[in-house]
Amino acid sequence: MTAHLVRILDRVTRVRGVRGAMLVAAEDGLVIAESLMEGVRGNALAALAAALAGRLGRAAAATGVGSATFVHLEAARGALLLVPAGQGVLLVTITDAGVNLGLARLEMLRAVAEVA
Amino acid sequence: MTDDIRALTAELARDPNSLAFLRLAEALRLREQLDAAATVVLAGLERHPDLADAHDLYARILADAGSLDAAREAWERAFALDSRHVGTLKGLAYLAFCDGDLDGALDRLESALGVDPTDESVVQALQTVREEAERRLAEGRLRAGTDIFAGFEGAEHGLLLADRRGLVLGGALRSVAGGDVAEEVAAYVAGAAQEAERTARLLDLGDWSAIVVEGAAGHLHLSAPAPEALLLVKRDRAVPPGRVALLARRAAATARGWLEAQRG
Amino acid sequence: MRRARVIEPWLREPLERFLGETGARLALLMTPAGQVLAQYGFVRAVDVMAAAALGAGIAASTGELARMLEERSFRALNHQSPRHGIFLAQFDSPRGALLALVVYGPDSSIGLVQLFFEELVGDLAQAAPPASRDAPALAADFERDLNGSLATLFR
């Protein structure tokens, strides 16, 4: 089962500029499956991404835009991308600054469809 | 002449000192026979010059006739005689409301409620004044806030400037149903920005510059046009995320200019 | 700023940093024997004593289970309910083995608590002053120390 999930994550990590992808239990902030490059702290990524998703979800609900389908945190040296995968699971991707955002987003949405 | 007026007139004729003049004048006032009502109450006031009820009734007759200045004088005389007279307090509240002094109206009505907590008319009047106060506050906030982004597409419902503590600085944000959600959302985005700052720092991503949320019913773009401020742009799903980002950059430049001006 | 109550000053900064990052609602740092060194969020001394005793008891029980399974030890335990999570972990410090008992709400997560717990352990190791040689505790000394500690923890 885990191998199957990692294969799905590899679709995302194949995109140039992606440093890692993981499936995270959104409520707990714990790793379910991961495919990470050297130097990426998986437990930190999982916990922080889940916390951020929670905060943004509450803000989105208050504005009336509904539940988030894609989140992009843009920063000086990279980005964090989040896509809900259903059943309290988040697909989280961490990237370099120069990543092809459109491609990464597409692969994440396809990956989520396979996880569901 | 109706039976009640006939009866009251007869009672007053039998005893000119009786307080029946109050009921007679009120009956005439309710029938919009204001001149007759005024004549009766003024005659009664000659015999009972210190009766707050009479001054209050005279004030109401004057108010019905549109003579608000004269009504104010009459109610002030009633208030001087009895500062806890509910009718007088209601009357003075009414005048304050007409003058646009909602705080003054609320003060008078709350005093009246303190004297008689069971008076439904006071409760109703309080509700009316409070609703008007809220309406004017929302309108004022909207007018003041949207001025920052005047001319921007969607300024009145989808552009919000907040400070890092989660307080609204300007702009406006409305829910799909049209309700004002600016304050609530300002609080949430401040928390989201703190979380973004921590996430980017601990994951060694550097300073965060924007957060984009694609939702089932719309898009959000959150950025920090200045160290002390956050800008949220909200658009419906029909607007592509790239265009929302462009709009956000323009709005951020405007926000920076406004913030600079506030710093003096 | 989340203000913890501590027996020794060096505990304060690392613990308050942990509390700020995790948003924990309650926290205890104690010895495996249940002697409390720091607390946050508790209102009554009797609750601190009860939580410390229960936490130390749970840690001792799981230590025994680990021994039966020929494991060195279980380092951490987590219980989750709809409104709260309880995290109990043993760690080594320059002052010997210590236990941390943390209670968190839905605005935090076990992931965040575990993440910043690792940092707490590191921060405590750096902050601890050189160990002093303490005389063995006598029963009377222990009770006096306990009462003194409770007074400090609820000042």
C135 confidence band (pLDDT: 50, 70, 90): very low
Dist CA B200 CA A28 (whole Å): 20
If phi > 0 it is left, if psi is from -120 to 50 it is alpha, else beta; for residue C29 that is beta
In this complex, which of C80, C112, C114 lies closest to A51 when CB atoms are compared? Answer: C112
Long-range contacts of B167-175 (CB under 8 A, 24+ apart): B168/B141, B169/B145, B169/B229, B169/B259, B170/B144, B170/B145, B170/B146, B170/B255, B170/B258, B171/B145, B171/B146, B172/B141, B172/B142, B172/B145, B172/B146, B173/A63, B173/B232, B173/B234, B175/A63, B175/A64
Q: What average pLDDT score do residues C39-57 get?
A: 92
In this structure, the strands spanning C76-80 and C85-93 are antiparallel
CB-based contact B215 A80, cutoff 8 Å:
no
pLDDT in tens, B78-133: 999 999 999 999 999 999 998 888 889 999 999 999 999 899 999 999 999 998 88
Angle (CA) A47-B201-B194 rounded to 5° is 75
Mean pLDDT value across chain B: 91
**Is residue A79 a contact partner of residue A99, using CB atoms and an 8 Å limit?**
yes
Q: Are residues B106 and B165 in the same domain?
A: no
Helix (H) or strand (E) holding C39, with range, is strand C36-40
Give pLDDT < 70 ranges for chain A: 1, 116
Is C46 a residue whose pLDDT tops 90?
no
Do residues B152 and B159 make contact, with C-beta atoms less than 8 angstroms apart?
A: yes
State the pLDDT at residue C143: 54
What ipTM was predicted for this assembly? 0.95
Let me know whether B175 and B113 are in one domain.
no
CB burial of residue B69 (10 Å; 0-12, 13-18, 19+): exposed
Q: Quote the pLDDT of residue C138.
A: 43
User: Which of B84, B103, B138 marks a domain boundary?
Assistant: B138
Q: Is C152 touching A (CB cutoff 8 A)?
A: no
How many Å separate Cα B198 from the centre of its chain? Answer: 40
Residue-range definition of the domain harbouring residue A75 = 2-115
CATH code (residue B17):
1.25.40.10
Check pLDDT > 60 for residue B145. Answer: no
State whether B52 and B69 are in the same domain: yes
> What integer pLDDT is reported at residue B140 of this predicted model?
67
What domains can you pick out in chain C, each with its CATH number?
A: 5-128 (3.30.450.30)
Same domain, B10 and B122: yes
Instruction: Indicate whether B66 and B167 sit together in one domain.
Output: no
Identify the domain boundary among B115, B138, B161: B138
Of the two residues C91 and B139, the one the predictor is more confident about is C91
Q: Is the pLDDT of residue C133 over 80?
A: no
Contact assignment for B205 to A67 by CB distance below 8 Å: no
Task: Answer with the one of B96, B112, B138 that is the final residue of a domain.
Answer: B138
Q: What is the mean pLDDT of chain A?
A: 93
- What domain count does chain A have? 1
For chain B, the residues whose C-beta falls within 8 A of a C-beta of chain A are 173, 175-177, 181, 184-185, 188-189, 191-192, 195-196, 198-200, 202-220, 222, 232, 234
Q: Tell me the pLDDT tens digit for each residue of B153-199.
A: 888 889 999 999 999 999 999 987 788 899 999 999 999 999 999 99
Tell me, yes or no, whether B131 and B192 share the same domain.
no
Query: What's the total number of domains in chain B?
Result: 2
The verdict on B22 and B69 lying in the same domain is: yes
Average pLDDT score over residue span C139-153: 59
C108 interaction partners in chain A (CB closer than 8 Å) = 51
Q: What is the DSSP letter of B147?
A: T
Tokens of B241: 């995320």
Considering the domain architecture, whether residues B243 and B171 belong to the same structural domain is answered as: yes
pLDDT of residue C140: 46
DSSP chain A: -HHHHHHHHHHHHTSTTEEEEEEEETTTTEEEEEEE-TT--HHHHHHHHHHHHHHHHHHHHHHT--SEEEEEEEETTEEEEEEEEETTEEEEEEE-TT--HHHHHHHHHHHHHHH-
Instruction: Give the domain extent around B25.
Output: 3-138
Domain harbouring A37, CATH code:
3.30.450.30
| Structure confidence by residue, pLDDT tens digits, B237-261 | 889 888 999 999 999 999 999 998 8
